[in-house]
Chain A
Amino acid sequence: MGDVSVTIRQDIGKPRHVSVDMTTSLGPLVVNDPVFTASGCAAAGQELAAFNDLTAIGGVVTKSIQLRPRAGRATPRMAETPSGMLNSIGLQGPGIDVFIKRDLAWLEEHEVTAVVSIAGSSVDDYAKLAGKLRGKPLGMIEVNISCPNVEDRGQVFACDRNAAAAVVSAVRRAAPSGVPVFAKLSPDVTNIVDIAKACVDAGATGLSLINTTLGMVIDTTTMRPILAGVTGGLSGPAIRPMALRCVWQVHEALPEVPIFGIGGIRTGLDAFQFILAGASAVQVGTVIFNDPGAPSRISRELREVLASRGLNSLEQAIGMGHREPETIIPEDPEPPGAEDLDIELGVDADEPAPVETVYIAPDVDEVFDIAAEDA
C-alpha cells in the first residue's frame, strides 16, 4: 500500500493524462489554444497546413502586409547565427488587396483564426490598412511598428513612444470595432515598459513581445557584410532570454494587459516560461524553419508541461512566475488517498491526516527563487 504514494511522487515531472483547459483570452478574442505562428515565419499559413492542423492551434499571424505589393530586399537575405538567424527580407508581399482576396479568404475557408499583421511607412498607411480590414474575417490586428527592415528615413515607430502611440491610435480608430489590436514592440529601446504604456494608453488591446533585434554578420572571406541589407533582424533561441525579460517587465508593470510572448520558443517548456512570465499566449517563429511541424508540437508539449505540474488550466499559469509559490494539490488524477498516507507516514488512523503538500516541480521552485532575488 505504501507503494502507492511513492508511485505518485515519481509521476511528478512526467505527463499525466489529465485534461488541461488551454483556453486563453486576448482581449475579446478567445481561443482554444495559446500557440500561434509568428509573423514572417509562416507566410499566410497555407504552406504549413501540410505539417500542422492549423485549426487546432491558436491561429496564424500572417506576414506583415503593406498597402502595395513589395518585392523586398536583394539577396542574400538570411544568415545563420549561433542558435538563431538574421533576416533582411524587406517585407516582401503582395499588398493588402491581394492578401485579403487570396490569403485571408484561404484562412477563412479553412477555419483558421487569422491575426493580420500590418506594416506601413506612415501613420496614414497604417490607418488605411486597418480600414481595409473592416468587415473581413479576422481575429486580431497585430501592428508591426518595430520591423527594423523597413526603410523609413532611419526612424522606427517602435523606438519612439509618441510615434508608436500615433500609429496605434490611428489603427484603433480605423480598425473594425470589436477586433483586438495588438502592438508588436521592438526590444531595441531603452525602456520597453515606457513604449508599452504609450501603446496601451493609445488604445492597444494588448502587446506582442518581442520583434527581432538588430544584428549583423561579416563574411571573413569576402570581408563584407553577409546580408545585402547589411543589418538584419536576429531571431531564434539566441534572443529568448531577452524576450522573456521584456514580457516579465511589461507584465509586472501592466498586469491587466494581455501579452503575446514571442522570441526563440522551440519547445513547450520554452513556451511555459513565457506563460509564467505573464504571456497569455505565445507565437513561435524561427523554430518553424527548423521544424515545420513545430506549432502543433509545441502546443502538445505545453499541454503536457502544464499537466505534469498539476495545472489543469493554462489561465492559472499566466504570470505565475511573479507570485509566491503556492501549495498545489492536484485535483486529477486522484490525490493520494488519506488511507495510503496514513500507512505511508505511520500516522494513527484516528488522528486527522497531516496536510500533504505536493510540490509542482523542482525547476519551477528555482524560478521562484530567482524571482525573489530580483524583487
Chain B
Amino acid sequence: MPVQVKGEVLSVKPIGDYYSMTVVASGIAEITRPGQFIAVAVGGDDGGMLLRRAFSIYSVRETGVYGGTVEFIFSVTGRGTAWLSRQRPYDPIDVVGPLGRPFALPREPANCVLVGGGYGSAPLFLLADALRTRGCRVDAVLGASTGDRLFGALDAKRMAASVAFTTDDGSYGEKGRVTDVLPEVIDRVHADVVYACGPMAMLEGVQRVAGAAYGGAGIPAQLAVEESMACGVGVCMTCVLPVIGSDDNTRMVRSCVDGPVFAGDRIRWDALGSIPDDAIGSGVEVQKK
C-alpha cells in the first residue's frame, strides 16, 4: 500500500546533466521494491502546477539520522522539475509512494543484463542489489546521447561484473546505441533475462534484441516504461498503453498501477500511442455492434 508523506528535502545535488534529490519520507523506504516509483507534488500548496511528477526510486535508506529517506534522479525539462531543482534542505515536499509494480525477480540464480538509457538507469541499482542478494550475476549496459547524460557509471562499475557504455556522439564508451552492443553482451555472459529502463524507443529496441537472442529462441525482458502520468495512483487513466493480457486480449492498461514494469513481449509496440483496432473496447469494436 502506498503512503502519502509530507516529507522534507534532505539534499539536492547536481550529477552530470541531472539532479539527485533525497527526501526524508518515512514509511516509503521500508516497503520499496526495485522498479517502483514515487509521485512528487511540485510548486507548493498554492502553486498553479497540479500534476505530480513521477520518478523512479534510485535508492532508499530505511533508518537514517532523520528517518527513512528516498532518493530519486531528475532532469530539468520544464517548470515542475525546475522548481524541484530550486528546493533546499528542510523545504517541505509531498511524496506518494512506493507506486507501481516492481521488477519480477528470477526464482533461481540467473545471469541478468541490466540496460539503462540516460537517467532511466536510476531504478537499476536497487534492482542490482536485489539480484545479487539472490546470487544472480549482473552485467550492465548504459547508454545516453552524451557522456554527461549517462547516469550511474561509477555505481554500475561497482555492482556489475561488466559494464558497457554507449553514447550517440561517442563522447564516452562506444559510439552508438545500447542495442548495438546488447546482443554481444547477452551471448558473452549467457544471459537469462534482460532488465531495462529508459525511453520507449530504447525499450522497444531492447525487446527486439531480447526476443531475437540465441538464434531467435529469445529471453524474457522486464521493461520499466516511461509514460506521462497525472496522478500516479491509478485514478486518472492518462498513462495507458496497449498491453496483451494472459487471455491474449489487448487492453489499454495503466502504466502506474499495472506497470511501470511489463514483460517486454506483452507490450503492443506496433500500437503505442494509439488504440489498436483489436483492443477491448476500441472504437472499431464499438462500431461493429
Contact = CB atoms under 8 A, between A and B. Distances in A.
Interface residue tally on B, bucketed by range: 35 or more
B227 A289 contact: no
Contacts, number: 116
Interface of A: 40-43, 47-48, 50-51, 63, 68-78, 80, 82-85, 87, 89, 92-93, 95, 151, 228, 236-237, 286-293
Contact of B50 (A77, A83, A89, A228): A83
A227 to B, nearest CB: 10
B106 interface: no
Contacts of A291: 4, 41, 94
Nearest to B94: A291
Contacts of A73: 275
Interface centre among B238, B273, B274 (most CB of A within 10 A): B238
A228 B273 contact: yes
A71 B233 contact: no
Nearest to A52: B4
A40 B236 CA distance: 7
B251 A71 contact: yes
Given A50-B3, A228-B273, A290 B286 contact: no
B234 interface: yes
B241 to A, nearest CB: 7
A236 B49 CA distance: 10
Interface of B: 1-4, 41, 48-52, 94, 96, 227-228, 230-231, 233-241, 251-252, 257, 273-275, 279-283, 285-286, 289
Contacts of B231: 288-289, 292
The dominant DSSP class at the B interface is: loop
Nearest to A42: B235
B233 A292 contact: yes
Contact of A68 (B2, B234, B286): B286
A50 B3 CA distance: 7
The dominant DSSP class at the A interface is: loop
28 contacts: A43-B234, A47-B234, A47-B235, A51-B4, A51-B233, A63-B237, A70-B281, A71-B251, A71-B285, A72-B237, A72-B240, A74-B274, A75-B273, A78-B51, A78-B238, A80-B49, A80-B50, A80-B230, A87-B230, A89-B237, A89-B238, A93-B281, A237-B48, A289-B230, A289-B231, A291-B41, A292-B233, A293-B4
A237 B2 CA distance: 26
Interface centre among A47, A73, A237, A287 (most CB of B within 10 A): A47
Given A69-B280, A78-B228, A292-B231, 16 more contacts: A41-B235, A43-B234, A50-B1, A50-B3, A68-B286, A71-B275, A72-B281, A75-B241, A77-B238, A80-B49, A80-B51, A87-B236, A89-B238, A95-B281, A291-B4, A293-B4
Contacts of A78: 51, 228, 230, 236, 238
Nearest to B250: A71
A20 B261 CA distance: 47
Given A73-B275, A78-B230, A92 B281 contact: yes
